[in-house]
Amino acid sequence: MTKRTWWYTLVTTLLISGLAACSGGGGGGGGGGGSGIPTATNAAIAPPPTTPVTITTNGGGATSPTNQNIAANSFQSSSGAMSSATTASGLVSAHADTPQAETFGVIVRRHAEKIKDHKSSPTSALQVETQPCSGGGTLTFAFDDASLSSTEVFVNCSEGGTLIHGTVSASNVGVGQNLGPTVGSTYSITVSATFTVDLSITSTAPAASAVTQGSFNFIAGFSGIMEAAGNGGVQPGVPNRVQISMSNANILTSNGTVRELLTNFNFSVDDDDTQGRTTVTGGYTYASTIINGSVTVAVSPPLVFQPQSAPHPSTGTVTITSSASPGRNIVLTVISSPVVGVRVDASDGATTDTVNLTWAQVDAL
């Protein structure tokens, strides 16, 4: 079966500094915009089927392949939200010339980082910076202090075998901070905004192409330790914890023949270097051409990735329900025995089907 969810198909290579690596994609347009800001758009994605799927059971037998598939895809749409930076500090401390594969959660975090570090214009003027991409195309970053908005525009931006085309923007931007007064004291900085994305991404290694469109609200919190500044004062050091909450989403993605939709979205990702782990929790409605309909997904207890670089979580549970099947559910639980992978249970309230799957089996569904 075609490999899977929009969180995974939106893996790209973006440069940590804000220069891009990535995608151009089908059906896009690009050209000049006002005030030196170019435009870059992609063809609209047709939504997948959204009729709630029917959950059937086998009376206590093995979990059916259909339910395994629903569980695996719903799980991947959760776990892929985690930052692919291995630590809270990884995204902002990496060398500016080092490309890094990033999930959608990292693209949000990266944009929030740029907002956090933005220096306001004393005249509230529109600030626009355009830079060339090494393989052709451009990346433009604009910040409008008057309207509290920011925009990144990728015009056929090619870097390291990946091409990006489209626009990422934030409006209703708010930034708050609580900075410690001395070296070694703590700080916290919060960035909030409404995030809108229309982005196509094509990579050659591995070969992949995806378009993602939609909007949601996010709050990103950065915390760490104050360090000495060059002027004799203090300044925030590299964060040791980054917490991102995303809500009110309506996100569409297209990857070849696969189309997916996320709605009723409330999701949190916590990259905590002090604990050496990344935690993912939340819930949403997931619709896809793969499952030919929609389900409701809840992640609780949280998915925990420890160490943070782990490709799969060490604990956590994903529960899937459907309004078409009251009283029935599919529960995916991360396990370490008798296999390292997951247990998938499908219950009708009286009997429970079950099967254990290795991570290789889950990833192949």
pTM of the model: 0.78
Highest average pLDDT, of 68-82, 141-155, 171-185, comes from 171-185
pLDDT per position as a tens digit, 287-311:
999 999 999 999 999 999 998 888 8
Highest average pLDDT, of 61-70, 152-161, 193-202, comes from 61-70
What does the pLDDT read at residue 16? 23
Give, rounded to a whole angstrom, the gap between the first and last alpha carbons of the chain: 6
Q: Which of 278, 257, 254 is nearest to 268 (CA)?
A: 278
pLDDT per position as a tens digit, 311-335:
899 999 999 999 999 999 999 999 9
pLDDT per position as a tens digit, 242-264:
888 888 878 888 888 889 998 98
- Please write down the long-range contacts of 311-318, taking CB distance under 8 Å and 24 or more positions apart: 311/359, 312/79, 312/341, 312/359, 313/79, 313/280, 316/280, 318/71, 318/74, 318/75, 318/78
What does the pLDDT read at residue 115? 66
Lowest mean pLDDT among 144-148, 163-167, 278-282: 144-148
What does the pLDDT read at residue 237? 93
Whether residue 164 contacts residue 12, with contact meaning beta carbons closer than 8 Å, is answered with: yes
The confidence band for 175, taking pLDDT boundaries of 50, 70 and 90, is confident
pLDDT per position as a tens digit, 21-67:
222 333 344 444 446 789 999 999 999 999 999 999 999 999 999 99
What does the pLDDT read at residue 114? 65
Q: CA angle at residue 97 from 94 to 100, to 5 degrees?
A: 60
Whether residue 111 contacts residue 195, with contact meaning beta carbons closer than 8 Å, is answered with: yes
Domain ranges of the chain: 6-44+67-288
Lowest mean pLDDT among 15-29, 71-85, 92-106: 15-29
